[in-house]
Structure 1
Amino acid sequence: MRTRLLIMSLFTALTMLGCENSGTGFPRGSCDAPGKPACPDYPIQLIIEPDDTELATGTSLQYQAIAVYNAAGKVDVTDKVIWQTANTDIASFNDDGQLQANIPGTTQVNGQLPPQVRGASTLRDSAQITVADKTLSQLKMLPASSIILTDIQVQLSTIATFDDGSMQNVKDSAQWVSFVPQVASVNQTGLVTGQLPGATDVSANYSNETVMAEIDVSGLMPRELSITPIVFTLPRGFKQAFQAILVLEDGATLDVTDQADWAIIDENIARISEDGVATALKPGVTGVRAQIFFDSRTEIMVTPLTVTNATLTELAVQPEGVELPEQQKQEFAAIAMFSDGSTLDVSRDAIWRISNPAHAVVTNSFANAGIVKARTAGDTLVGATIDNTEDFVNVDVSDATLTGLTISPTTADTPANTRVDYQAIAQFSDMSSLDVTPYVSWNSSDTNVAIIDNAGIATAILPGFSNITANYQGQTATTTLDVNTASLTSLDIEPDDATLLPGASRQYVLTASYSNGTTANVTDDAAWIVDDTNIVQIAPAGRFAGIAKAIEPGSATITAIFSTLEQTVSVTVENPAAP
């Protein structure tokens, strides 16, 4: 059952301590007291992550430091923290918070944040790191293949699976080589940059194992730069992360979020960070702009952003009533509900807490916020706080042990250029089960036939058979993927010739027909573009693919690109005053 701590939240308690010379804020009486000025925004708590982890000898890990502020929520302060370990023989830091695992053993990791404003206190937090000798069982490159452009980059990763079943990204410990550096160069952390059109392989060697990635530096021209989410509405004081997607002539899509120059048209209404996170400041209508520079070209896109005066009425942490075996993970979400009936996923920016850290830990780092890892058996609460509103749900950590792993679908038969979404389910000694899809190591036995990413999404490439295998904490499951010889014959978009009012949304669906008489929904596999983004905008790819929003009266053409075919439909946006 959901529990709400309405009288004294952990967040409020920390704030009070921060103002009373607790070592987590201002000295008592320096502000917010009779005759004293109001307290400025200042950090009241430091959180370093990961909280408790294990590394293989000779590898490294980037730590992250999050400061909880009295008013502005949480801020990444990794570059401001002084990093140390209790035993530098076991593990040691560089100045940027990257830890190097040296010899086997366990030691304490310490982070210290100097005062950020005048009168504030130094904040500290600690964690534990264990370094162990491990034997490499498997090394995998992600992504296995990439399409980029000149001056466009892609980050490669090398995922090591060790003999104890643990997995670790060892990209910073691998030796990277580009076979044709004139086409694409690679640095020593696996960041690839396109130089000239062409193809090359990039290799990574770790612990005498070598894996490869195929890099295609395309000479095709871009058809559209898109921003998602499109035509967004955001309550004042809240944040939204935007993504920049470049669609090429052949329908290939490139995520260029990290390389885009982000801006807000009217900075009085909102502001945006270098990584595309917008903060709503005051009610009004403005635009989010992304600009990409590559190969002596510039692409620009603007999507409308409306800031409202809606107020937060409730926060809900989901899911409820979770039972989680020891050493397993569960992702939670924090959903904010507002006075105008709108909702917003605030998981990234919420402050996450665990009532009993002996039973579980929860992450606050922005990319992984809300992920709970069970430690020891017992009950605990996981909670999220934002804008002085909070919600908590119960987590029952059991001592059940992992007994098996299954994959679904058990068999799959699909044409080339389509995707199959796999799911991995872990079984435990108490007869419970858990979706562990994001945490397993996925592999395809024949990458010429199909490849699979770390989310369990397989892409069919050429006709043939490939075994899809999932490895998780010593358990293995395998299924067969059959890529058939059916050829694509036609595409159909629904709805056809839609009419919308400004502000309305419509989900478009793309259906592919094949020579063997089968059909498939390929909405998420296609690239979507529109010829007049002043009239209508459409999400080009990903989980929002095919969702269009009307902006102003007029007519436009929506195009879906899939494999070797394209299909178009017309859309009309009518003036609401028209009969």
Structure 2
Amino acid sequence: MKSTKLFSNLLLYIFVASFTLMGCSSGGNSPNGKRVVSLEISGDNEIAANFSTQLKVTAIYNDKTSKDVTSIATWSQSGETGIIQVLPEGIVEGLATGSATVTVRYDDSQSVTSANFTMNVNDSSVTGLFITPIVDILGSPYRIPNGTFISVAGLANFSDGRQLVDITRDLSWTVDQSNIVTVEPKDFEVKLTGQSLGVTTLTVDVSDPSQSAQTNVAVQQILTVTNAVLTELLISPSSLSLPKAINQQLSVAGVYSDNSILIDIPEVSWSVEDDRIARISEDGLLSTYLDGQTKVLVSLDLIQAEAELVVNDATVESLVVSPAEASIVEGSKIDYNATVTFSDGTEADYTEKVDWYSSNSSVAEVYNGNTIRGLHEGQAEIFAVLKVSSSADTNEVLQSNPSGRLDVFEARITDIDVETVDGNPDLPMIVSKSESLVPIDQLQIDNVAADFKAQATYEDGSSQDITLSDDTHWTIVDDQDNLDSSIAVVADGRVIGLGSGNGAVKAENDNIRDSSPIVTTGCPSLKVLNPRPGGSGVMYFSCPLRDTEATDAQISYGATSRGDGIRGPEFDFITHSNASVAADYCDNLNLDGHNDWELARYSDLVRLIFYYDSNNDSDYLFFTEHNWPAQTNFWIADRSGKAISLAEVTTEPVSAVGSLLSTCVRIQPN
């Protein structure tokens, strides 16, 4: 069975705390002196009774290297019984309210290392349930090519305020026609496989037996199995120029005959033409050894792609972290960067290619990647370690010199200011509905979201960004300041749209709070590869959005556009009286964290139709799958009074009068 499950390294956008505990080790040394010195356990330490969570453990060696040992370590429970159940590979089930301890032991044949982790089980219940593909797709995320599969997950909001928690393992997953799609749940991932052409409905529900009065929370999703086939593979990056002794992660996207593009397809075959110059692992990790020129190859069935690789004779000379000096308050976080200098004088950002460490984990800890969290007042040195491979058989490490000095201090907040990271601060931020609740970084295709920041002023007059502080509590509220997770969710300042409405994103810390208004559209921004001549990157098309701040006309659409029984969304969408007004509106649009929008050109809309209407069924695709409005005439950017229909494709734009819809576009470059 071919696979369209997209990527092994893409993380769900689940907002959980990451906790680290250092363990102890005993035993002898390996012949080469390498041994485990500690274990780091990470995961969510708060779960609800009758739900489960996944913990992970990383072994830290004395040479500063690390290894994920979650699946080969021994997991057990210690302390009070009846609170949790610990399963192999780090899965923890909540049984009853209270606290209990998870113990993990790892034996690498040279030493035995152990660590403990405290789990808290509460009685919170599910207040909202969402299905999300563990994918990014340019096209419709729930259209499955026959004979392939996609992977999905179930995320939930809880009554204790936790948002988008992965409860995939605790849900019931069913389809009404298993001859069209089969469902295979496995822990925190569910595989949906297309078996025959057709349409079926996926139903996902949860019932919390600890809450007898709570009714089942359920959600449904239409699945369509198509006859699309793989036509092309795209390697990213498409060309590479690298120094020796460096690792580079590659990814591959698949282009299908229905114009959808699936990011990071697994089960492909990687190779390098000249393996003396470089070698590549089965998951696409490229390692360079000798200077020279060759090609990286990838294939799936009969489809092949290649990328040019040039390895120069430069070698890594130094590794420096920044900032060199920084100070943060307890509970807040800071991002560090790593820069490598090569023997030819060039520099490169290696922030995501190094391992990060703190010299004093009681003062500051590595929270996630290059993000460091301040714990207690004091000082710590933050340093990075780069693994280099001078040959296929050797591995060495380079430590940053100098390290970054981080001071952690106590202070009381007197004021907080919440504002957008990008966009026009004088206008409410508008947020599109997200079709996928995961952050995307492959091929620079990112999730639709709007980022906010919280700036705190302290009693000593100093100020600091507290957006990522553990003590900063982010929520979505309505105009009465009541919690409202129906229109959007927020974590660490990032807002993801879910429904349609008005509200605000609020940050609170030390009983000081501030908020910034948002408007959510209830329909998504669609995206295609940049269609303009010589263009690259991704082009976003704004939903003809509902906007209560608009000064132009608004109109409610919900009736069928033709006699096919397909209905559009039943809420308001903004219209404009002519193309000039529409263009001015786009020029001032503050949407999804950006203000660089413009009215779509005729060629842009043709490309949009090409991506989403290859089977001439735009009614189904636009109105049902994407919740775009049933009215289909859109103004185009030449301001000549012409429009184009997304449902009845014409070869040329047509003259139009009256109030019509419009879509704004922006380009996210590679």
Q: TM-score, normalised by structure 2?
A: 0.58
Give the unaligned 5+ runs of structure 1: 1-20, 32-38, 445-449, 497-506, 528-562, 567-579
1:392-407 aligned at under 5 Å gives the runs 392-394=404-406, 396=408, 398=410, 400=412, 405-407=418-420
- Conserved in 2, the CA contact under 8 Å of 1:376 and 1:399? no
Residue by residue over 1:277-327, the C-alpha shift from the partner in whole angstroms, topping out at 9 and shown as x without a partner, is 22334434343333345xxxx433222333344322232334565554544
Tell me the secondary structure at the aligned position of residue 156 of structure 1: strand
**Structure-1 residue corresponding to 2:518:** 479
Residue 89 in structure 1 maps to residue 82 in structure 2: yes
**Structure-1 residue corresponding to 2:440:** none
Give the unaligned 5+ runs of structure 2: 1-23, 135-139, 209-215, 387-396, 435-445, 479-486, 543-577, 588-596, 609-645, 652-670
Deviation, structure 1 residue 191:
2.0
**Structure-1 residue corresponding to 2:170:** 173
**Structure-2 residue corresponding to 1:389:** 399
- Conserved in 2, the CA contact under 8 Å of 1:411 and 1:481? no
**Structure-2 residue corresponding to 1:316:** 320
- Conserved in 1, the CA contact under 8 Å of 2:269 and 2:300? yes
Residue by residue over 1:327-361, the C-alpha shift from the partner in whole angstroms, topping out at 9 and shown as x without a partner, is 44444443333223444444445332223323332
Q: Give me the whole-angstrom Cα distance separating, in 2, the residues matched to 1:72 and 1:375.
A: 22
Q: Give me the whole-angstrom Cα distance separating, in 2, the residues matched to 1:277 and 1:218.
A: 32
Amino acid in structure 1 at the alignment position of 2:310: T
Deviation, structure 1 residue 50:
0.9
1:161-560 aligned at under 5 Å gives the runs 161-165=158-162, 168-188=165-185, 189-195=188-194, 196-206=196-206, 207=208, 208-249=216-257, 251-292=259-300, 298-318=302-322, 323-363=327-367, 368-386=368-386, 387-390=397-400, 391-394=403-406, 396=408, 398=410, 400=412, 405-407=418-420, 409=423, 410-411=427-428, 421-428=449-456, 430=458, 432-436=464-468, 456=494, 466-467=501-502, 470=505, 478-481=517-520, 493=532, 495=534, 515=579, 516-517=582-583, 520=597
**Structure-2 residue corresponding to 1:59:** 51
Cα gap change, 1:205/1:382 in structure 2, threshold over 3 Å: closer, same or farther? farther
Deviation, structure 1 residue 481:
4.4
Residue 146 in structure 1 maps to residue 173 in structure 2: no
Q: Give me the whole-angstrom Cα distance separating, in 1, the residues matched to 2:217 and 2:516.
A: 23
- Conserved in 1, the CA contact under 8 Å of 2:432 and 2:520? no
Tell me the secondary structure at the aligned position of residue 361 of structure 2: coil
Residue by residue over 1:377-428, the C-alpha shift from the partner in whole angstroms, topping out at 9 and shown as x without a partner, is 4443332222222233425354556967555654367999999651122354
- Conserved in 2, the CA contact under 8 Å of 1:494 and 1:510? no
Deviation, structure 1 residue 253:
2.1
Name the stretch that deviates more: 92-101 or 405-414. Answer: 405-414
- Conserved in 1, the CA contact under 8 Å of 2:295 and 2:308? yes
Q: Give me the whole-angstrom Cα distance separating, in 2, the residues matched to 1:24 and 1:239.
A: 32
**Structure-2 residue corresponding to 1:560:** none
**Structure-1 residue corresponding to 2:41:** 49
**Structure-2 residue corresponding to 1:534:** none
Tell me the secondary structure at the aligned position of residue 425 of structure 1: strand
Amino acid in structure 1 at the alignment position of 2:141: S
Q: Give me the whole-angstrom Cα distance separating, in 1, the residues matched to 2:270 and 2:349.
A: 22
Tell me the secondary structure at the aligned position of residue 71 of structure 2: helix
Deviation, structure 1 residue 126:
3.4
Tell me the secondary structure at the aligned position of residue 532 of structure 2: strand
**Structure-1 residue corresponding to 2:553:** none
Residue by residue over 1:182-227, the C-alpha shift from the partner in whole angstroms, topping out at 9 and shown as x without a partner, is 3333333342323134444433323432234444444334442112
Residue by residue over 1:118-171, the C-alpha shift from the partner in whole angstroms, topping out at 9 and shown as x without a partner, is xx2223333333333324444333349724423132332414344245663222
- Conserved in 2, the CA contact under 8 Å of 1:407 and 1:478? no
Greater share of residues in strand: 1
Q: TM-score, normalised by structure 1?
A: 0.65
Q: Give me the whole-angstrom Cα distance separating, in 2, the residues matched to 1:304 and 1:77.
A: 35
Paired residues, what number? 472
Tell me the secondary structure at the aligned position of residue 26 of structure 2: coil
Q: Give me the whole-angstrom Cα distance separating, in 1, the residues matched to 2:265 and 2:383.
A: 30
Q: Give me the whole-angstrom Cα distance separating, in 1, the residues matched to 2:353 and 2:518.
A: 38
Deviation, structure 1 residue 26:
1.0
Cα gap change, 1:508/1:427 in structure 2, threshold over 3 Å: closer, same or farther? closer
Amino acid in structure 2 at the alignment position of 1:176: W
**Structure-1 residue corresponding to 2:643:** none
**Structure-1 residue corresponding to 2:107:** 114
Amino acid in structure 2 at the alignment position of 1:389: Q
Amino acid in structure 1 at the alignment position of 2:51: T
